[in-house]
Chain A
């Protein structure tokens, strides 16, 4: 399923339900806790910033938004400029005549790749700023996702200030990690841009915690997974047992203290 971001002024909508959503019915998410966000080098010609500036904005997008979620295990890291085929600038993200079956020629081998693109199928109007799809999926997890920024002549991404560009890219990265749109305007995953987007909304935090639940103090070791085939894991019982264990340990300690005193 492809997702796009468009200017608020152009659209009103009525939603029939209100919740964070996911961008695929399989609840797909990256398997690893740390995902790198790279930028395709030399492909942006119309967005008004250099590759280095785009990479810097990607860094802000992950640090100012997604890495601040207290109950999520996912950490996004700014990657590097990498050289890719010119197809990433010109090809459609979906195969023709499909309900967006990913174009296999653009499969991202791992993590997330941000590129500029001027394909008219991807960006039929200048108000569509970005488009994203997890396009490398295996064994129920996302292996690689592709984020495309509108690089067609006249695309309104170029007119946005740095803060807006940051939140637009953060929104697209949200799709890349498995989130769909939110119906509430104070969420980053709302379909339209907002001038003053400064942090994740509650709906974004809930969605991120849902797909990437934190598992402190450690993951896996010492926990009981009731159904290891489920994604995300359902191993909260393990944590509860740890808590009860702490209480039990304390009671034993208390009895020993009483005994010696």
Chain B
């Protein structure tokens, strides 16, 4: 698994190195509405994925977000953001889960990349069909209640990332959501990689 992380990190660095060669300057001081599409790898290394003891690395979880950037200075912007992940079934087809998030990001621009840091709320919505499921109970089978009414859990998360402007309209970004930053026992990381389209200032 460590090798997979190293391979992924190396590939990402190679990609970022490549795109930074094509960096171009843009007007950093204007307001900017942008939407982004990324893939979020949730809770990396925290979830057992088979009965042989393997843990999760990255799976397909599309994430959509909209952000409006306000320049504070030439190099510094604040960027409130809202977004969600595509509703998906859980490990089981009958459980539906999706996430919603609201963030307040700050963005510091350098010649090649923008450094992102922010704070936000991350909602996980879980719901099910209700009713009961007949499952093996060791000595036979038994009926177990299924989830029904949607329930939301709410995490305060930190966001760290970098983005790179490919041109005045497109940028690519990589970010990490940190859950339970101050608690070593349930701290978790989700990693995202995606692209943003910039509409520019709303008039």
Residue numbers of A with Cβ under 8 A of B are 1, 3-6, 11, 13, 15-25, 27, 63, 67-73, 75, 124-125, 128, 180-188, 190-192, 194, 196-203, 205-207, 209-210, 213-217, 230, 232, 234, 236, 239-240, 242-244, 246-247, 250, 254, 257
Contact = CB atoms under 8 A, between A and B. Distances in A.
Contacts of A207: 147
Contacts of A200: 46-48
Contacts of A15: 133-136
Contacts of A75: 185
B94 interface: yes
Contacts of A1: 142, 144
B149 A194 contact: no
A250 B137 contact: no
B128 interface: yes
Interface stretch (B10-18, B119-127, B160-168): B119-127
Interface of B: 43, 46-53, 55-56, 70, 72, 78, 80, 82, 90-95, 97, 100, 102, 104, 119-121, 123-126, 128-129, 131-139, 141-142, 144-147, 149-156, 179-180, 185-188
A203 B55 contact: no
Nearest to B52: A196
A5 B137 CA distance: 7
Contacts of A216: 121, 154-156
A221 to B, nearest CB: 13
A181 B72 CA distance: 53
B129 to A, nearest CB: 7
Q: Which has the most chain A C-beta neighbours within 10 Å: B82, B100, B154?
A: B154
A236 B144 contact: no
A100 to B, nearest CB: 10
Contact of B91 (A63, A72, A181, A184): A184
Nearest to A202: B91
B82 to A, nearest CB: 8
A161 to B, nearest CB: 14
Contacts of A13: 135-136, 141
A21 B145 contact: yes
Contact of B94 (A17, A25, A196): A17
B118 to A, nearest CB: 10
30 contacts: A1-B142, A11-B136, A18-B94, A19-B90, A19-B95, A21-B132, A22-B147, A70-B43, A70-B46, A70-B155, A180-B145, A181-B137, A183-B133, A187-B48, A197-B51, A197-B53, A207-B147, A209-B124, A213-B124, A213-B153, A214-B154, A215-B154, A216-B121, A217-B121, A234-B151, A236-B125, A236-B154, A243-B82, A246-B80, A246-B104
Nearest to A65: B48
Contact of A254 (B78, B92, B97, B132): B78
Contacts of B80: 246-247, 250
Contact of A186 (B91, B132, B180): B91
